[in-house]
Structure 1
Amino acid sequence: MRQEDFVRRHQSEWIAFEHWLDARGQNAKQARQSRREWQGLGDFELPSRYRRLCQQLALARRRGYSPVVTERLQDLMQRGHGLLYRTPAPRWRRAVEFLIAGFPRLVRAERGCMLASFVLFWLPLVVIFAAIQWKPELSASLFDPMQLMQFENMYDPADPARKLGRDSGTDMAMFGHYVWNNVSIGFRTFASGLIAGIGAIVVLIMNGIMIGGVAGHLQAVGHGDPFWRFVAAHSAPELTAIVIAGGAGLRLGLALVAPGQRRRADALLEAGRRGALLCVGVLAMLVFAAFVEAFWSSIAWIPAWIKYTVGGVLWTLTVAWLLLGGRDRAHEDAPA
């Protein structure tokens, strides 16, 4: 093939490849921000276009085309190689990017299961709380007298010197206890979805009843103020993480019961992979909640308005993160 025909046949490909490199290959942040407006070569096409360019360069050299053609192709090949084979971002950075953007995108992708989990958890919580305000004796059917006495002692407004929500223990020791307790609840909520989803449903409802029962009893007996000051801050990441773990568990159960057009094993494998990624974010949320609970929530002398303000800020940030995180950038679902 003559050089003129070769250039005429492939010129449009080279121009498109060059325009992509100029517009999107220089700054990754700007490329993510402008991806909706970009009308040229699709990002997913770049690897195949790069391979074609390498083949065209080899042909041009073998056929003895002029340096004008071979040098242009060599330049495009080197720029494409530098982009495709550059050193990946450090793992810690990729993990942070996943938590900031990839995790909330994954939560939104499972919005149906997350909404069901939200209802299964919050509806029993609100109903049992309201029922105990109407009939305080209902709390005795949920907890034995020793448990009720322990709850009341932990949030006794007549004892302002003690730390809220605990009988004893240093902040660091309680941090470890809260991490273990929170993570175990989250893991049980997720893993119970393997029982055809019924396990996740039961765990979500029971958690809602227990939390609503404790809150309802303390409010009914006049210990509501220290209790609400204690839970105001860490409740946002902790309760939201339980709902997300429940949604991941429901997704497992749904894949087991209704795999659709796929084999049940394949559907379960995919649900397990997505559930594992969701659990990474849930773990981070629960560890953060445990930190806030141990080092902030238990402080009794901080005024209530400060506690509630911090709690409101954390609830706002949690909701905004899950609703808006990752909307302006294309991240991988995996953190590594």
Structure 2
Amino acid sequence: MDIDVFVAAHRGEWDRLGALVRRGGRLSGPEADELVVLYQRAATHLSIVRATAPDPALLGRLSTLVARARSAVTGSHGQSWRGIGLFFARELPAALYRARWWWVGAAAVFLVLSGLLAAWVATDPQVQASIAAPEEIKELTAPGGAFESYYSSAPAASFAAQVWTNNAWLAAGCLVLGVLFGIPVVVIIVVNAVNVGVAAGLMAAAGRFDIFLGLISPHGLLELTALFVAAGAGLRLGWTVIDPGRRTRADALARQGRTVAGVALGLVCVLLISGVIEAFVTPSGLPTWARVGIGVAAELLFLGYVFILGRRATLAGHTGDIEAGDSLPMVG
């Protein structure tokens, strides 16, 4: 083998590998993949040189390069926690902030629809009669009835897991089905607005609207906000199908799809918190003001996370695209 020809053919790859290694953990997703590929090639080149042309200078250079690259690749797992932290500090809040008008709009539609329906149900006995028999409504709305007992119908830990799973599936439906032009997302929002509106109206008609608010507010503020965020992200994905902008439709959908994946991961955590509140706080013996205060505090923390941290991350150039973001850890 001609050493000079071999070096000339592969010097560019070695130089590029050395540059990636020197950058350490500040690599994007594609760059991390490139690091792994170039490391594997350099290791192969080292084996070839050892077997066919053991030039001491070249062996020393390649051995050093391969060792440093191996350390970067295998050591990248130790940086995974840093990457996760940067994702939650940069990419996720940026994605939530950039989609804010979509999910604020979804929230507005939900609240107006459920509010109007609640007022209609509460003030029209004929509408109440069309919903259920008087005995069934009384069983639902009476003190200790189905509406109140629902929150203590199972052991707290089991109930939290059940609520978390159900809400996660609901949010996933908004996120995944949004690609169908957003139509299923609208259906999900309307159905849930109807359910909340009917329950609120029946409780108000029974003179127990304060109980309704006291039970739904602790967990419902954060839970519904998570649903609105999922709906907004799904609607934005659906709009990308219709209008990809200046990018090709495939590229635009890929970018928005990666952002939706990041939002899904974040909502899993948000819904876990709301599920714990619903299981342990909502049915607890705490005063109503304390239970509602916990729900309000959780909601304010989330909104602060979006509108303060998210705005800051957006101004810094982060988009929520989990592949384009430089906060991802390298993968070996």
2:96·2:229 contact (CA, 8 Å) conserved in 1?
Answer: yes
- More divergent stretch after superposition (281-290 vs 130-139): 130-139
RMSD: 3.4
Alignment partner of 1:310 out of 294, 309, 312 = 294
Q: Could you state the TM-score of these two structures normalised by the residue count of structure 1?
A: 0.65
Residues 276 and 146 of structure 1: CA distance in aligned 2, closer, same or farther (over 3 Å):
farther
State the distance in 2 between where 1:145 and 1:268 align. Answer: 50
Question: Where does residue 143 of structure 2 map in the other structure?
Answer: 157
- More divergent stretch after superposition (243-252 vs 312-321): 312-321
- Spell out the pairing of 1:1-336 with structure 2 (5 A cutoff): 90-141=79-130, 148=137, 151-152=140-141, 156-157=142-143, 164-166=149-151, 168-299=153-284, 301-328=285-312, 330=316, 333=320, 334=322
Residues 100 and 211 of structure 1: CA distance in aligned 2, closer, same or farther (over 3 Å):
farther
Instruction: Give, as a single letter, the amino acid of the residue that structure 2 aligns with 1:308.
Output: V
1:230·1:297 contact (CA, 8 Å) conserved in 2?
Answer: yes
Residues 163 and 91 of structure 1: CA distance in aligned 2, closer, same or farther (over 3 Å):
farther
Greater helix fraction, Structure 1 or Structure 2: 2
Question: Where does residue 63 of structure 1 map in the other structure?
Answer: none
2:97·2:310 contact (CA, 8 Å) conserved in 1?
Answer: no
- Report how far residue 190 of structure 1 moved: 1.8
Residues 95 and 169 of structure 1: CA distance in aligned 2, closer, same or farther (over 3 Å):
same
Residues 96 and 158 of structure 1: CA distance in aligned 2, closer, same or farther (over 3 Å):
same
Deviation string 1:159-207 (CA, Å, 9 cap, x unpaired) is 7xx9753363111111111111111111112222122111111211221
Instruction: Give, as a single letter, the amino acid of the residue that structure 1 aligns with 2:302.
Output: T
1:164·1:226 contact (CA, 8 Å) conserved in 2?
Answer: no
State the distance in 2 between where 1:157 and 1:208 align. Answer: 24
State the distance in 2 between where 1:272 and 1:200 align. Answer: 16
Residues 254 and 178 of structure 1: CA distance in aligned 2, closer, same or farther (over 3 Å):
same
- Report how far residue 95 of structure 1 moved: 2.5
State the distance in 1 between where 2:130 and 2:155 align. Answer: 33
Question: Where does residue 6 of structure 1 map in the other structure?
Answer: none
Structure 2: state its 5+ residue gaps. 1-25, 32-67, 323-327
Instruction: Give, as a single letter, the amino acid of the residue that structure 1 aligns with 2:161.
Output: G
State the distance in 2 between where 1:91 and 1:144 align. Answer: 57
% identity of equivalent residues: 26
Residues 142 and 272 of structure 1: CA distance in aligned 2, closer, same or farther (over 3 Å):
farther
Residues 186 and 141 of structure 1: CA distance in aligned 2, closer, same or farther (over 3 Å):
farther
Instruction: Give, as a single letter, the amino acid of the residue that structure 2 aligns with 1:128.
Output: L
- More divergent stretch after superposition (87-96 vs 112-121): 87-96
Greater RCO (CA < 8 Å, at least 6 residues apart): 2
- Report how far residue 141 of structure 1 moved: 4.3
2:113·2:193 contact (CA, 8 Å) conserved in 1?
Answer: yes
Structure 1: state its 5+ residue gaps. 1-27, 29-43, 48-80
1:120·1:201 contact (CA, 8 Å) conserved in 2?
Answer: no
